[in-house]
Amino acid sequence: MKTELFDYFLPPELIAQVPVDKRSESRLLVYERDKKKISHRQFSNIVDYFEPGDLLIVNSSKVIPARLYTKDKIEGSKECEVFFIKLLQDGRFEAMVKPGKKFKVGRKHTLPGNTVIEVEEILESGLRIMKTTDGKDPVEVFRKYGEMPLPPYITSRESEPERYQTVYSKLEGSVAAPTAGLHFDENVFKALKDKGVKVAEVILHVGLGTFKPVEADDLDDHQMHEEVFFVPDETAKLFKETKERNNKVWACGTTSVRTLESAIRDDKTLKTGWQATTCFIKPGYKFLAIDHFITNFHLPKSTLIVLVSAFAGREEILNLYAEAIKEKYRFYSFGDSMVMI
């Protein structure tokens, strides 16, 4: 299938630069697939669509403050950026850097806190394998001095860093937020609990693939980056019980969807523990784990808009996006939400 089929035009002013004041006051586009019905609500109203006994599954991965700038002055370069990707064995770490020509093998750079890092290897992808020369834990250095890795389309720095974390985030490991969850607050969770809805967690550490556009002309030629995920025993138990009583499983965000669809087994139960996936969900895929899907509005020609198109249909998604643009919804990470039921 051609990548260009997932393109659309978004007026730049609809790219949300800051979140709304209160998480659950964002707008919610509701799409009832069987009826092909569109409703415009507030996110707090999402509780109305759950039934007692339903299960909501969220991704509790926490974002690492992954962006740092070196302290050393390098001739001909205004600033050198180190973007943490993931921790490797023996305290080494993988990073995206710019400008690349300033990060040759053996080159040392000083980070805030006077931590010195050294380039050990340049991967075929252009990523660097680096280490701290004094044995410091690189995660601790980034946690203390790093900046939140906001996507490049967010140019404002007015929002507080915690607004790029979900209220239920726990285990650090992501370099981008699972943004569908940013709309949930304690009031929404209390309303769900009062209604008899269960909430369970998975962990998928959002990696570099989130930033990687589909550059291939055909989707079949696109290679997904590997991402690691974790399914707790309790989540698998709740999932099995929900399916057995014919209640619905709601996935919050594309990362939860990829986790559940990667972990589902032939007997319709979830494999537990740490796993890895390169799963690329595209039209024609048969969903086995989820029934309903909460998501944000995604970039044109991205793997994420392809995924939501697999769930609701390509033409339907493009029509929903056109409706959202007409109604002046706010798009992308700090933008509004959509639920497909």
Assigned CATH topology for domain 3-63+157-340: QueA-like (3.40.1780)
Confidence of residue 204 (pLDDT cuts 50, 70, 90): very high
Per-residue pLDDT tens over the stretch 289-315: 999 999 999 999 999 999 999 999 999
Beta bridge partners of 174: 63
Is it the case that residue 76 has pLDDT exceeding 60? no
Domains 3-63+157-340 and 67-145 share a fold: no
Confidence of residue 77 (pLDDT cuts 50, 70, 90): low
User: Could you tell me the strand order of the sheet in which 55-59 lies?
Assistant: 37-42, 27-32, 337-340, 292-296, 249-252, 55-59, 198-204, 227-231, 273-277
Assigned CATH topology for domain 67-145: Thrombin, subunit H (2.40.10)
DSSP notation for 216-247: SSBGGG--PPPEEEEE-HHHHHHHHHHHHTT-
Position 243 scores a pLDDT of: 98
Position 157 scores a pLDDT of: 81
Confidence of residue 178 (pLDDT cuts 50, 70, 90): very high
pTM of the model: 0.92
Confidence of residue 52 (pLDDT cuts 50, 70, 90): very high
3 state SS of 7: coil
3 state SS of 89: helix
Per-residue pLDDT tens over the stretch 107-124: 999 999 899 999 999 999
Dist CA 101 CA 150 (whole Å): 24
Q: What is the DSSP letter of 164?
A: G
Is it the case that residue 74 has pLDDT exceeding 90? no
3 state SS of 310: helix
Confidence of residue 158 (pLDDT cuts 50, 70, 90): confident
Is it the case that residue 152 has pLDDT exceeding 90? no
Q: Token digits for 145?
A: 């001095």
Q: Which residues contact 98 (CB under 8 A, 6 or more apart)?
A: 80, 81
Per-residue pLDDT tens over the stretch 227-265: 889 999 999 999 999 999 999 999 999 999 999 999 999
Per-residue pLDDT tens over the stretch 250-259: 999 999 999 9
Q: Token digits for 82?
A: 């180190």
Position 207 scores a pLDDT of: 81
Q: What is the DSSP letter of 337?
A: E
Position 210 scores a pLDDT of: 65
Residue boundaries of the structural domains of the chain: 3-63+157-340, 67-145
Position 75 scores a pLDDT of: 56
Dist CA 122 CA 238 (whole Å): 44
Q: How many CA atoms lie within 13 A of 75 on its CB side?
A: 0
